[in-house]
Amino acid sequence: MKQPRGAAEVEALLAQWSQRDDEAGNRAAARRQTALSASGASLVRDYEFHKKPNDWIHLDWLRPIRFVYRNLPFGLRMALKKRLAR
């Protein structure tokens, strides 16, 4: 059976993983900066989400209604869908 790792070993692994993560982040930042300077752009804008016509479906107050609807038996759901589509 495997023995659990000691606290010192866990701390050493966390420090090693943190260092590896920092190195990867620095490499990614350098690649991004290189790509930006090559393209002549000075700043990359964040993606902007646009409102869509059916975004009302995802409003918080509809969550319980969607939950109940999704958990209805399939036949009842289809009958309700046909009735509402008229």
Q: What is the pLDDT of residue 53?
A: 75
CA-based torsion, 57, 62, 63, 68: positive or negative: negative
How far, in Å, CA of 77 to CA of 30, rounded? 53
Each residue of 6-38: pLDDT tens digit? 999 999 999 999 999 999 999 999 998 888 888
Each residue of 53-77: pLDDT tens digit? 777 878 889 999 999 999 999 999 9
Helices (H), the chain: 7-39, 63-70, 74-85
Per the document, the length of the chain is 86
- Amino acid at position 19, single letter: Q
pTM, whole model, 2 decimals?
0.43
Q: What is the pLDDT of residue 3?
A: 85
Each residue of 32-54: pLDDT tens digit? 888 888 877 666 667 777 777 77
